[in-house]
Structure 1
Amino acid sequence: MADLTIETLTVAYGGTQVLNGVSLQVARGEFVALLGSSGCGKTTLLRAVSGFVPVSGGRIAIAGRDVTAAPPERRDTAMVFQSYALWPHMTAAQNIGYGLKLRRTPRPRIEERVAEMLRLLKLDGLAGRNVTQLSGGQRQRVALGRALAISPDILLLDEPLSNLDARIRLELRHEIRVLQQRLGITALHVTHDREEAMVMADRIVIMNAGSIAQAGSPEEVYHRPASPFVASFMGADNVVALRAERDGGTLSIAAGADHDAARLPVGHEVGDGGVHLAAADKNNSGSLISAHFRSEAARLAASGETPKGALVLRGRITQTAYPGGRWRYGVAVGGTVFLVDDGERRAVGDAVGIVIPPSALHCYPLRGAA
């Protein structure tokens, strides 16, 4: 049963269309991440669900009830903001209980619920402390407790971790996910952080220019991106143009100025080890395609090596960096520089081959190419 239903939702600011007929269903107890870059419409969609942004068209239903025209306080949603949005003159306990107080909940029940939230969020001993005396991580826990205290139908998370340092952000990712699963609450989470969406969500909705580019499990959108945009957004932003032909379960890649011919298996399932071909590519015949791959999915080989069962691009190292654990190299192939991670130390100017296994290649037709 869908806990949240969004049907052909449109939102416009003045003459600018921000959401273009977005449709989405979120099941009860599901954690869905809205992922995308700034300006893609993800926060507008979240705020439309909460009632803070009026819609131009379409429908929003929560637990089967049409709330499209309902004010925020009648939607049974709760929002956790990036900026915490806590009352600075109140204690942690008073902030957590604020929504219950507005609902005229009896005082003993408020105290009971606040104590429960403090315990769940590891804020024991901080009930009477003013929120201005708390750390960023503690303030965000208070904001989360305030949202959860009212037992909303839908928990809305508007980039709640982006203001925190890396260590606290990792801790709270885990804590929010554990709490969401423990309470069985439905959650819609806005983020621009790909890793955050991958580790927290049951399903990821990738947005671009006010529309949904792809929706699926983390594994699905990572291994089988539906378009060049999704592939690049999910980290496969090295792109090489190839001439290739589909022959049954094999992709035959023609030799080029900087690579040898290759015959690679075509994948059919998520992460099954073969080349991922977009639907439009499945019947290509000697056409130009764009092949995307991630820097960490390839490796480098000495110029004389000829690895089998992989695409090998020939080039020279133009830059090196050490981000930790592995070296990151810029390798010039023709007029393009590709980023590749490798465990071996190499020098600028070395002739190398970029070895790309079939499972790392995501291929799409080059529009207008013949």
Structure 2
Amino acid sequence: MGICRPSLSITVKEVTCNQIKLNWSLEALSIENKESISLTLNGKPWTKAHLKHSSKEEASLIVYGLTPGMDYELELKWLSTSSSIESKSDKPLIAPLESTLRSTVEQKDSLMSELKRTRKESQRHTASIQSEIEALKRTIDKNQPNDQRSKQKILSLQGSINKANKDAEFINQRSKEINQLLPSLEAHHDRLRNEWLTKQEQARVSNDLTAQALHQHEQTFLEKQQRLSVLNHKLDKLFNRKQKLEKSIPEIQKQIDELSKEDESNIAFNRVYPTNTTASDTRHHSQRSLSFLPFDNTFSWAPPQTSSPTDSFLPFPTSASSTRPGTGTSDRKVVPTPIGRPQTHTISEPFFSHPPFQSFDDYTRRRTNSEKSTTNNNSFFYRDL
């Protein structure tokens, strides 16, 4: 027959699973190994428990059938089965037995009601769990394509993460190497900075020298430009003068043609009427003046002037100090004078036996030499200007 002993109350908050395990020491509680227990959960008897004696000194109680997330108050009572207790009479034993019987009946009724309630709750809980499972299945079936894409994304992200980790390791290793090289790089940077400052100073000095040279060059250029403008002005004046002279060339050519015709007529006349003349007359006659030609100093002789009335009929007038041709007198005075129109000859006046030009070829040759001399004189003329 068991006797009730002192109880032990335990409070458990927010149970995480459907069972709990309690361990205690038999020696600390002064409990024998053979004693049993009575469990009350939240003031109600609870039979879903298993008592296990792991050793002679320790025991453990496993309480199951709990709801996770709820708080429970456990009350343990130990019942002794020892028969060593002596009683003086039978009456004192009846009252505990009756109380034990009543508690057992009450415990039975409460256990039956608790069982029914637990079954209903378990059925409701099972139905809700089944509905949740069905909903999860439908959700899984619905989200399966998305899950595939998510898996692929996850795999790609994992690959990216692995690559990023490798890159991070490489960067860390590279940063360590750079940190090791940093002092030498700083020294190299300082050396390059000093060189740059030196080069900058040299560049500044070079720029100053270049600016000075450029200023001098600009001044020289301005002076030369002014001189060039003066020379261009002179050149324009010379060009205008040249144009004027070129315009006078046709008139001069016309005069030359007239003179050539006059000479031809004189040659023809002398052949018809030959006269005796001296070498001096022939020489003076062959050196007729062509001083009217521009820039021509080759022929500088002009026939002498005469004051005799009969000399006015000669083709070339003579001077007062000379005699007519053919008289054999001394030197004659040479006076440059322009050639006019041919004068009329009379029978009383003698003529030169030799013309100034022996033939037309002789005239052409002398004209060519005259043009060459004119070119040379022109060059001296432009140089003097």
Q: What interval of TM-score do these two structures reach, taking the shorter chain for normalisation?
A: under 0.3
Tell me which structure has the larger Cα radius of gyration: 2
Q: Which has the higher helix share?
A: 2
User: TM-score, normalization: structure 1?
Assistant: 0.17
The one of the two structures with greater contact order (alpha-carbon pairs below 8 A, sep at least 6) is: 1
